Amino acid sequence: MKPYYQIIFTIFAFIFGAVLTTNAQTFADDIHTYAKPNQVRVSHVDLDWTVLFEQKSIKGMATLNIVRTEKNAPLMLDTRDLNIEKIETSANGKTFKPTTFELGTADKILGAPLTVKLPANAKQVRIYYSTNPTASGLQWLEPAQTAGKSQPFMFSQAQAIHARSFIPLQDSPQIRVTYSARVRTPKNLLAVMSAAGNSQTTAKTGDYRFTMNKAIPPYLIAIAVGDLEFKSLGKRTGVYTEPSMMAKASAELTDTEKMVEETEKIYGKYAWGRYDLLVLPPSFPFGGMENPMLTFATPTILAGDKSLVSLVAHELAHSWSGNLVTNATWRDFWLNEGFTTYLERRIIEAVYGVNRREMEATLGKRELINEMSEMSENDQTLHVDLKGRDPDDGLTGVPYEKGALLLRWLEESFGREKFDKFVRGYFAKHSFQSITTETFVDYLQKNLLEVYPNVVSRADVDEWIYKAGLPKNAPNPKSDAFTKVEMQVEGFMSGKTVASALMTKDWTTQEWLHFLRKMPETLSVEKMSELDKAFNFTKIGNSEIAFQWLMMSIKNKYSAADARLEDFLINIGRRKFVRPLFAELAKVDMKRACSIYSKSRSGYHPITQSAVDAIVKCN
């Protein structure tokens, strides 16, 4: 039996989600979905799942509440490699009857459309199905691929359009849904989801229930199942991870509660209740994923000195920009990530100081400029054209760093006090909505440009959003600490100072990264060896520094780092690291790239596999 509050919630979701409406919401054209929400849209998803590790499959049913605007239109859903067994409909939420459906031809990017015939009075659709072992939004780990080495692990990654690989739904960020779930697992494993219901006692029953009563985009539906435990970090924050990782993870993340408090001071009340984190095994393809109430995070942020927790600030910021106010289509992705990167830096400033913010902003802008130097002009625009392309192609530095620079430019132009007021109003006005770039620009025009005229022109804003590259008026973050780092680089490269005598005491990760990135593209083996002997870069545990060093080692054919490179690529699946390392290695030694990839590929998430498959070409 469901707890009484879930029964009540389901009844209300059914009643309000199923009503025929004459004032239908107007949806933007989303080229990455088969859904036709202006005809029929899904408002609530109720999941009943059994997680089958031996089959690497989730089996069960999804019951969808629908809102019908066109009486005779079918329900159009997105799927990818789902095994559809049968579909039923109901007029009253109690009695379900079979209906006909058609699973269309699969597109390599979009998957296959699922067309469901709706009887005249249908208000719910129930789909019985199972996922494919190669579902793009799920990763199944053998015990050996986890930290504890004793139990299997499964986790999801639905952004951008991977939710359709484990739920038949309308997989567009503008079609927001509430959801509930019952999840059955092996009794020795814990299930957690991006919803209320996660167990802080971590009692492992094998039968778990969850409820998300705030409407979210489908890509934020998330699940993980594994040998997990929980530790509180504050009154509404905590961390889940494998037992062997808990001490390290909880020590690194102690500032999480403070981050929530500081963000609320600037941007308003946190709207989601709890903010917990799940530190996943190292195969997780991204740094983090902002699943509401439960951020998924890579263990590569656990540097031991809190120097990489800007990722936590970033994912927390998504609780406002991305989760509360969401991009309507993936062409508007910069609305999520540009705002979030800007907010992230403001949180870092509030918790760790201006100097830390400026170091990270400086590194971010430099990485953006380097990345854009190798990009087409089309991909250098914020309002990027993704027609005929996978939205994952839009995961570049442009929506993040260029978007953040646009917002920083607006802050500098109008002053922080006025701009903060504007941003708070923006979040309040568009809460729990998905909006387009055009909606943002119109709001900006009416609530900032026209309120304070003759400061910023609409033409200036349009240049930032619709044109390639960075405008000449782009902010230029500066760090006094980096100036001192550059003096050490100069001393080393000129031969005036040996590596062991460089003044590096108390350097942060950001300073070390700046130090390595200011080195010449080409370094002699002797210089590489001297640096390695002085600072032990080849064996360093900090993943960001290790990545930068390994990139330099490939370019300069520094063979002393070969074993670490292979170990790094086999044991870490973060796309940000794996993709460029393989790209650089493929330039100089495709045979070796193939050899390492043959060992590492099975441990990568499908998203990472897809990225590297396009780079490493083996016979």
Which stretches of the chain score pLDDT less than 70? 1-24
Q: Which secondary structure element, helix H or strand E, spans residue 257, and what is its range? A: helix 256-267
Query: Residue 278 in 3-state DSSP?
Result: strand
Which residue of the set 88, 262, 290, 315 is catalytic? Answer: 315
Paired residues of 129 in beta bridges: 60, 84
313 CA to centre of own chain = 13
412 CA to centre of own chain = 28
pLDDT of residue 606: 87
* Assigned token pair, 368: 């953006």
Which residue of the set 400, 426, 597, 604 is catalytic? Answer: 400
315 tagged catalytic: yes
Task: Note whether 275 and 318 are within 8 A (CB).
Answer: no
pLDDT of residue 22: 36
* Assigned token pair, 461: 């804003």
Give DSSP secondary structure letters for 221-257.
--EEEES-EEEE-SSSEEEEE-GGGHHHHHHHTTTHH
Fill in the DSSP letter of residue 398: I
First to last CA, the chain: 55
Name the average pLDDT for the chain.
Answer: 94
pLDDT of residue 24: 53
Paired residues of 89 in beta bridges: 97, 125
366 CA to centre of own chain = 22
Q: Give the sheet arrangement for strand 40-52, strand by strand.
A: 96-98, 83-90, 124-130, 57-68, 40-52, 177-184, 207-216
pLDDT of residue 460: 97
Residues 6+ apart with CB under 8 A from 410: 419, 444, 448, 456
Q: Which secondary structure element, helix H or strand E, spans residue 343, and what is its range? A: helix 333-352
- 130-189 pLDDT tens trace: 999 999 999 999 998 898 999 999 999 999 999 999 999 999 999 999 999 999 999 999
| Distance (Å, whole) CA 608 – CA 579 | 8
| Distance (Å, whole) CA 463 – CA 475 | 15
Q: Could you give all domains of the chain from N- to C-terminal order, each with its CATH number?
A: 4-227 (2.60.40.1730), 231-316 (3.30.2010.30), 320-466 (1.10.390.10)
Query: Residue 40 in 3-state DSSP?
Result: strand
Paired residues of 434 in beta bridges: 326
Fill in the DSSP letter of residue 328: S
Q: Give the sheet arrangement for strand 190-193, strand by strand.
A: 138-141, 153-156, 223-226, 190-193
Give DSSP secondary structure letters for 554-591.
HHTT-GGGHHHHHHHHHH---HHHHHHHHHHHHHH-HH
Paired residues of 409 in beta bridges: none
Paired residues of 223 in beta bridges: 193
pLDDT of residue 286: 84
CA distances from 44 to 67, 160, 402 (A): 10, 19, 35
pLDDT of residue 283: 84
Reported for 94-103, long-range contacts at CB under 8 A and 24+ positions apart, including other chains, are 96/124, 96/126, 99/125, 103/79
CA distances from 251 to 231, 255, 302, 366, 541 (A): 10, 9, 9, 31, 16
521 tagged catalytic: no
Residues 6+ apart with CB under 8 A from 417: none
Backbone φ and ψ for 357, nearest 5 degrees, come out as -60, -45
Backbone φ and ψ for 369, nearest 5 degrees, come out as -60, -45
* Assigned token pair, 429: 């006005």
Query: Residue 2 in 3-state DSSP?
Result: coil
